[in-house]
Amino acid sequence: MNNILEDEENAITMIDAHAINLGPNGMLIVNVALLSMIGWALLKTEKSITTQSDVIILSLIAIFAISGRILLDPIPNIQPVTVIVLLVGIHFGATRSIIFATSIALVSNLFIGHGLWTVYQATGWSMIGILGAIISSKIYVNSKLSINPLMYIAALCGFVFDWIVSLSALHVINPDLFLLYILSGIPFDVLHAAGNMFFVAWLAVPLSEIMTRHISIEQPSVVENFAKTRL
């Protein structure tokens, strides 16, 4: 009788999906598949939205950004948030991009790890959103997003964001070591910059089209009005 019970337990264990060890590469494939599903659902959902409410569309894009940061966390410094915040700044302006950036930093860090660095991450992404608002009229010309300049700007933003976040290290290291700390992080900065260029190539056009369809407040100039919206 005991042998039968043991055999049944072993059989249950064998078919238990929770017991499967995929390894880091396998989990990365699963995470990318999940992120792709979320992106596909975002596109399908957006097409069914008839209102021009920027709040609704920003909430949906925020879900995608947060999911992307969490699911791609195993890859050092590769995540879509920087590019998405830059696009939000370009299309919706500085104020909304600050709210967007801060919310993403806080919510995603509740899963990845929350602490003093969250303030610096929120500040870094907010600065990128403001930059997007400032360059909006130069990067979005004749109802078209200029992809090549955006790629270079996104790559630069990878370094800027990482260096702003690196300021948090001054709370625990001697300022004399800060330059060495920055230099030691250059390989990760390069990964962030390269990842940003990839995400611009992948996400910029479809997300720009989505955001453009849901701009609800028209303003004559992003720069003159602290970039409330792109229009």
Q: Map residue 141 onto helix, strand or coil.
A: strand
226: in domain:
no
- Provide the b/e sequence for 73-109 (b: ≥16 CB within 10 Å): beeebbbbbbbbbbbbbbbbbbbbbbbbbbbbbebbb
88: in domain:
yes
Bridge partner list, 140: 145
Per-residue confidence (pLDDT) for residue 24, from 0 to 100: 65
pLDDT by position in tens, the chain (length 231): 555 545 545 544 444 545 566 666 676 677 778 777 877 777 677 667 766 668 888 999 999 999 999 999 889 999 999 999 999 999 999 999 999 999 999 999 999 988 899 999 999 999 999 999 999 999 988 888 999 999 999 999 999 999 999 999 999 999 999 999 999 999 999 999 999 999 999 999 999 999 988 776 444 444 444 555 655
22: in domain:
no
**Helix H or strand E encompassing 140:** strand 140-141
Q: How far apart are CA 219 and CA 182, in angstroms?
A: 40
111: in domain:
yes
Per-residue confidence (pLDDT) for residue 131, from 0 to 100: 97
> 36 to each of 26, 59, 106, 136, how far by Cα in Å?
15, 18, 23, 28
Q: How far apart are CA 70 and CA 89, in angstroms?
A: 22
62: in domain:
yes
> How many Cα atoms sit within 13 Å of 130 on the Cβ side?
11
Per-residue confidence (pLDDT) for residue 45, from 0 to 100: 72
CATH number for the domain that contains residue 68? 1.10.1760
Per-residue confidence (pLDDT) for residue 14, from 0 to 100: 45
- For residue 196, the enclosing domain spans 27-213
Q: How far apart are CA 11 and CA 5, in angstroms?
A: 10
Joined together, the tokens standing for residue 151 give 């790629």
Number of structural domains in the chain: 1
